């Protein structure tokens, strides 16, 4: 009984040969039912949990089934606003066999790589699988390139020399090299894989007191690194930037980091707030957008597109140069030069400039933040999630 209105609840088995309508909360305009908060709705079949709806989507009308494939269409629902502002811890789930894992949707995924194995985490389905590979003596695969065609690049002794291409689905080494790259690329450079040929490229970085912005390609015939001749407006010499993929397989985006136009360390390097695109088909650079310069705010922790349209991105920024640096999440739009700080800071903070990972699940609208806890011979991801769009403090208030 509530304000003179009574409702009767009966419990019975659900039997249906087709679709099923379940009425919870308000059903307007023709039904008078109390509004309620629903989460973690579970359906057991023959005593086994077969379907679970957490109702944490926050946008749209679909309630995703985290246990099975019965996604729900909802009507007249209001999603909880807190999940658009605060981070929530996410369980990494259970380990499954390689064959079981391959039947699940593959995006978004997070890789944790140790000397003899790669563990692949399916962030949406909360499953992971481990693949062991034959390690190469002295070869480091802990900081790989972006995955392309199920492959990543590893380096000998952590330096950008002797790169190997590893298929993390099969454990097969697709190629190795023996020659070192030119001096000065061993700090904070990035490797790019050609999506068609799997040729290995190396861009930027810092070494010998110098910032770089040249593009190198490993020549499979000569077994040497060649300096590529590019066209267009390329970034200034830089390091510690973020690399993102574009909708076109051959497009790479370079964003954030630290550098200086002269390339000389003594010339007061500064945060870079520009976005550049590199097309590996014709080695063409294009400056896509320039945000306002923030002298003491730098982005070099991680970034991810907010949607498939690649017109805005989330990035992790650090307010440095003060006694207690503040790490925040920021939203950058490719039609606005301002930087918008969003969310309730970050779920985990640590000193130094080791990278965090960000992933956006475009289907569910979930943003994942991932840190890694390293053990003696293994590593475990620590995962948090928030719903997009992430709110600013004023919007949340």
Each of the 397 residues of the chain gets a pLDDT tens digit; together they read 455 666 665 655 556 566 666 666 555 455 555 667 777 889 888 889 999 998 877 667 888 999 998 998 887 777 778 889 999 999 999 999 999 998 888 889 999 988 888 999 999 999 999 999 988 776 676 556 899 999 988 876 666 677 788 899 999 987 655 555 666 566 678 889 999 999 999 898 888 888 999 999 988 887 778 899 999 999 999 988 999 999 999 999 999 999 999 999 899 889 999 999 999 999 999 999 999 987 788 888 789 999 999 999 999 998 766 566 678 899 999 999 999 999 988 998 766 566 789 999 998 899 999 998 888 778 899 999 999 999 999 998 8
Say what the pLDDT of residue 208 is: 82
Q: Find how far residue 132's CA is from the centre of its chain.
A: 23
At residue 1, the pLDDT reads 46
Alpha helices in the chain (DSSP H): 98-102, 393-396
The 3-state DSSP class for residue 127 equals strand
What pLDDT sits at residue 101? 93
pLDDT (0 to 100) of residue 276: 98
- pLDDT for residue 390: 95
> pTM (2 decimals)?
0.79
Of 2.120.10.80, 2.60.120.10, 3.10.129.10, 3.40.50.2300, the CATH number of 133-290 is: 2.120.10.80
Phi, psi of 22 (to 5 degrees): -120, 120
The 8-class DSSP code of residue 101 comes to: H
pLDDT of residue 154: 80
Contact present, 308 and 248 (Cβ < 8 Å): no
Residue ranges of the chain that CATH labels 2.120.10.80: 133-290
Q: What is the pLDDT of residue 56?
A: 73
CA–CA distance, 127 with 109 (Å, rounded to integer): 10
Distance CA 134, CA 101 (A): 21
pLDDT at residue 373, rounded to an integer? 87
């Amino acid at each position: 009984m509530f304000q003179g209105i009574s409702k009767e609840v009966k419990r019975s088995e659900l039997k249906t040969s087709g679709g099923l309508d379940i009425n919870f909360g308000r059903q307007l305009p023709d039904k008078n039912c109390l509004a309620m908060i629903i989460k973690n709705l579970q359906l057991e079949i023959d005593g086994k949990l077969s379907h679970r709806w957490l109702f944490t989507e926050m946008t749209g009308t679909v309630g995703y089934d985290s246990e099975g494939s019965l996604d729900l269409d909802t009507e007249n629902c209001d999603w909880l606003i807190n999940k658009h502002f605060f981070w929530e811890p996410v369980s990494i789930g259970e380990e499954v066999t390689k064959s079981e894992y391959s039947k699940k949707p593959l995006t978004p995924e997070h890789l944790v790589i140790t000397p003899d194995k790669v563990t692949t985490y399916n962030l949406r389905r909360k499953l992971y699988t481990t693949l062991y590979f034959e390690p190469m003596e002295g070869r480091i695969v802990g900081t790989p390139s972006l995955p392309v065609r199920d492959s990543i690049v590893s380096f000998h002794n952590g330096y950008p020399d002797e790169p190997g291409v590893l298929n993390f689905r099969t454990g097969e080494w697709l190629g190795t090299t023996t020659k070192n790259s030119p001096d000065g690329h061993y700090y904070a450079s990035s490797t790019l894989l050609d999506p068609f040929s799997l040729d290995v490229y190396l861009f930027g970085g810092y070494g010998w007191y110098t910032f770089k912005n040249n593009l190198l390609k490993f020549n499979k015939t000569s077994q040497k690194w060649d300096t590529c001749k590019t066209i267009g407006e390329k970034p200034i010499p830089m390091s510690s930037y973020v690399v993102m993929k574009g909708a076109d397989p051959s497009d790479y985006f370079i964003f954030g980091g630290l550098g200086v136009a002269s390339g000389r360390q003594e010339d007061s390097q500064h945060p870079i707030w520009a976005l550049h695109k590199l097309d590996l088909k014709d080695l063409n650079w294009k400056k896509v957008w320039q945000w306002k310069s923030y002298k003491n705010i730098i982005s070099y922790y991680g970034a991810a597109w907010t949607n498939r349209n690649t017109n805005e991105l989330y990035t992790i920024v650090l307010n440095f140069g003060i006694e207690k640096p503040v790490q925040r999440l920021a939203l950058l739009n490719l039609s606005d030069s301002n930087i918008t700080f969003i969310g309730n800071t970050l779920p985990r903070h640590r000193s130094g400039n080791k990278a965090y990972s960000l992933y956006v699940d475009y289907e569910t609208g979930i943003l994942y933040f991932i840190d890694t806890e390293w053990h003696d011979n293994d590593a475990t991801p620590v995962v948090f999630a928030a719903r997009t769009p992430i709110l600013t403090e004023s919007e949340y208030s």
